Structure 1
Amino acid sequence: MKGGNYNPSGNNQHGKKVQADNPKLEEALLEYNRRLITNAKTISELLQKEYGWEISERTVKCRKAALGIYASGRNTKEIPDNAKAQLVLDAIEANPSGSHGPRTVQQEIAYNTGIPLTRDFISETMHCHAPEGFEARRPDAHQIKRSGLTSAGIHEEWSGDGHDKLNKMDKASGMWLGLWVIPNNRLGEVIGYLYLCLVETFGGIPKQSTTDHGSETTVQFGFANALRDAFYPDSNSCDSPAHRFLQSIHNITIERGWHRLKVQWGDDVLVFYQHGIDEGICNLSNPLQKTLSLWLWSSILRRDIKDVQSKLNAARVRKVQGKKLPSGTSAYDVFTFPDKYGLENCLIPVDVNIVHEMKSAMGGDSLLEFVSLEFSQKAIAAYEAIGSPALSMQNAWDVFKLLLSYMSM
């Protein structure tokens, strides 16, 4: 019998079909380009993994061409010299500490504009307009010598640390699992709460978590042990304790990650923030000004840190011969396709409903707020009253002056 549609849903043993003009496909392709993921085979695999869509490499190439989504080589060749040079100069201006090298600038431009450029062009432009930065970024000769890291797979170990913020990283992939801007990273309840946030996000716990031995990590220690006892009672804690304490300098996974975060983002945050204090724009001894600055800067940094997390995870690291864990790729790729790199998924599943109840009993996200709910509502009303201007670290203090003037009336 001929004719008829025997598969109206578009599903088969290979995956779900998707039309080439699907707007969600366009969004996905644009997002991959922002992350410098341009290989058609990799994109095809990601679309299958993340969306359940069966899209061939050829279709990916055709759709990207139709949408004008190009990789760095074509962009660099076709975009006028002054326009692409301006993209580099804008990235340099947004990095007043001068800590970003060509690879990071390439990533920043692609992520912020959706226009990848070649690293060679970026390096040439930076040598011309900001040559002093190359000398300043030379590796420190007094670094601590490190040994190679090994891991069975993703979620085998989560490493955490605090630098007036908390971050956690997966050891095997180097994937940033969470980055947070919080009012106080010395409170055990807050650190424990953020650990539960990750557990809820991933639906499980790692075989082991690792932090330094501070009093603020004791609640996380208790949660890690309690959850493993509840959902993995047959484990041998002597072979692999649920939580391990290390000195900061030996917590290699997160210490390496913290340095990258500091160079790519933290140094510039300090420069932009300190400008307002040094110029007398904000008087921290004035209660209104101090609280308003906390509200404004925490709002900006919490938004930005999610972009930073995404960029760090999408960054392709250089190939290192002899390295025991994957290199020459991105943490995002390793974490998404661990089997491609000979890694397991070591996550121990838990009941997320129980985790959610634990978070609620602790007070929920109110633990993470810098200002009271009442002040936040007033600040939001003032922000809307002045026209809800776009916020960035570059214009934060200008917006602060407008808000202060309005709230002082």
Structure 2
Amino acid sequence: MPNPTGKNGHGVKQYPPDDILKAHLVKNASKRVKEKLLEIKKEFGLEISGETLRKIERRLEVRTVRRNGLTEEEAVAAVISQVEKDINQNNGPRFVKDVLALQNILLPRNFIRNVMLEACPEGFDKRVPSSRKQKIKRIALTSIGPYAEFCADGHEKLAPQALKMGGNVGLPIYGYKDKFSGYVFLLKTIPDCRSAGAIGHLFLNMVEELKHAPLQLTTDAGAETVWESAIQGSIREVFTPEVDVNSYPPHRTIPSVHNTPIEGFWPWWKLKMGLNARERILSGEEAGLYNGDLQIHRNLFNWIFPRLLQESLDLFRDYWNSHRIRTQDKKLLPSGHIPSHVLVVPEEYGYIDCSVPVDQDAIDEIRQHLTEEVGPAEDFFKWNDADFEEICTQVHHDLELPPITWENSWDIFTPMARELRNLLE
């Protein structure tokens, strides 16, 4: 029967503006069609078919693996650039594929593998899985949904006691990971990850950014968790009085080796990026470019390397949250998923969102109390005083040095150290 109105019985769909829709599609370009459709429905209340999605992607010129907009030479160069950054050759084609996707460079895994085989075949031999047996008995993890439990811990493989470069220079890291989804909410390098004041402010910073807190926080029993625990307890007391603290305690302490969601994450960071960062850092001392007895060298180290490490942490966090976790048949929690996807649509997997909304007034009140007790946040997170930071920025500009990367970091350190000594001594 003719349909003179042109309406198909499904109603008129309300699409968001093209720029907003395109930004969403680019962000999720590496996900599967079903996952994209679910997130479009959750974000915009819009139900469309896979074919409609493909038409929209073509119209908005959203890149895909098949339509990546690259010549073969450009694609090869993109892969080689990632291979050259991995001086330990720990990263395989899947990691390279996921990291390139974060830069909106979408390439088939087989293409990447072939380029890597041609460029560095020895890396594949090095990455053959080891046969080491797990020493600690593990049990299946359980959770009722995202935000039900955040697991937090410090990582000190780049801390002063690990680097041993002199002058107490180092780059400790602290992180928060959602037990249910595997999503990493925060990775931050800070001057001291054993400071209770620093961790208290760090936790509050995260809550302020998310506008939510977890139902439960799990850490080891270290002294650095004192304020973190107190803040979490206060939030639960005010915003979830109906939740039984015996069933869902605000804060739980367990030995680090059993805090597996975050403890099991650190080896991946170390393997994929941490070892490369450590080798880059230590190469300066080994080459005689760094002297820990010199205050200018220590301060300049703190001007260059924390920002480089934070860039790597941000990149690895983005990679982790957008990569697909392998399927595990015996796992009780979701598997074969992308953390950022299951975090957004837990109901599709039969779970619930357990986030605790926290208003800004409460955050401000907690911040004021914490500052009165331990000092302001900036005191715990600054690597140098403001004057030295400003001088370094000016020297870097005056010497017409290029942007700082891991690859040229010590090449920039040397002339800057020389110029700073001329100015300050």
Do the structures match in fold with TM over 0.5? yes
Q: Is the 8 A contact 2:215 2:356 kept in 1?
A: yes
User: RMSD between aligned alpha carbons?
Assistant: 2.6
Shift of 1:14: 8.5
> Is there any run of 5+ residues in structure 1 with no aligned partner, and where?
1-12
Greater CA drift, 166-175 or 298-307 = 298-307
Where does residue 157 of structure 1 map in the other structure? 149
Q: Is the 8 A contact 2:102 2:318 kept in 1?
A: no
What is the rounded CA distance, in whole Å, between the counterparts of 1:259 and 1:73 in structure 2? 33
Shift of 1:169: 0.2
1:229 aligns with 2:228: no
What is the rounded CA distance, in whole Å, between the counterparts of 2:288 and 2:12 in structure 1? 62
Question: Aligned to 1:244, what secondary structure does the other structure show?
Answer: strand
What is the rounded CA distance, in whole Å, between the counterparts of 1:45 and 1:258 in structure 2? 31
1:64 aligns with 2:60: no
Shift of 1:16: 5.2
What is the rounded CA distance, in whole Å, between the counterparts of 2:145 and 2:244 in structure 1? 19
Q: Is the 8 A contact 1:200 1:355 kept in 2?
A: yes
Where does residue 99 of structure 2 map in the other structure? 108
Q: Is the 8 A contact 2:79 2:115 kept in 1?
A: yes
1:396 aligns with 2:386: no
1:120 aligns with 2:118: no
Where does residue 91 of structure 1 map in the other structure? 82
What is the rounded CA distance, in whole Å, between the counterparts of 1:188 and 1:72 in structure 2? 46
Greater CA drift, 83-92 or 265-274 = 83-92
Where does residue 16 of structure 2 map in the other structure? 18
In structure 2, the CA distance between the partners of 1:84 and 1:261, relative to structure 1 (3 Å rule), is: same
In structure 2, the CA distance between the partners of 1:14 and 1:368, relative to structure 1 (3 Å rule), is: farther
Shift of 1:129: 3.2
Residue-by-residue CA offset, 1:164-200 (whole Å, 9 max, x unaligned) = 2100100000000111010110111111111112222
What is the rounded CA distance, in whole Å, between the counterparts of 2:22 and 2:408 in structure 1? 31
Residue-by-residue CA offset, 1:110-155 (whole Å, 9 max, x unaligned) = 224x222222232233334333333333235132342211110001
Query: Structure 2 matches for 1:289-304, cutoff 5 A?
Result: 289-304=297-312
Q: Structure 1 counterpart of 2:411, which letter?
A: D
Q: Structure 2 counterpart of 1:178, which letter?
A: L
Shift of 1:404: 2.5
Where does residue 142 of structure 1 map in the other structure? 133
In structure 2, the CA distance between the partners of 1:330 and 1:139, relative to structure 1 (3 Å rule), is: farther
Query: Structure 2 matches for 1:186-265, cutoff 5 A?
Result: 186-265=194-273
1:346 aligns with 2:359: no
Q: Structure 1 counterpart of 2:36, which letter?
A: I
Q: Is the 8 A contact 1:16 1:54 kept in 2?
A: no
Greater CA drift, 222-231 or 243-252 = 222-231
Q: Is the 8 A contact 1:176 1:312 kept in 2?
A: yes
Shift of 1:280: 1.6
In structure 2, the CA distance between the partners of 1:51 and 1:289, relative to structure 1 (3 Å rule), is: farther
1:174 aligns with 2:182: yes
Calculate percent identity across the aligned residue pairs: 28
Q: TM-score, normalised by structure 1?
A: 0.86
What is the rounded CA distance, in whole Å, between the counterparts of 1:390 and 1:98 in structure 2? 25
What is the rounded CA distance, in whole Å, between the counterparts of 1:172 and 1:408 in structure 2? 51
> Is there any run of 5+ residues in structure 2 with no aligned partner, and where?
1-10, 156-171
Where does residue 36 of structure 2 map in the other structure? 43
Question: Aligned to 1:345, what secondary structure does the other structure show?
Answer: coil
Where does residue 385 of structure 1 map in the other structure? 398
Where does residue 31 of structure 1 map in the other structure? 27
Where does residue 162 of structure 2 map in the other structure? none
What is the rounded CA distance, in whole Å, between the counterparts of 2:418 and 2:225 in structure 1? 41
What is the rounded CA distance, in whole Å, between the counterparts of 2:137 and 2:63 in structure 1? 41
Q: Structure 2 counterpart of 1:46, which letter?
A: E
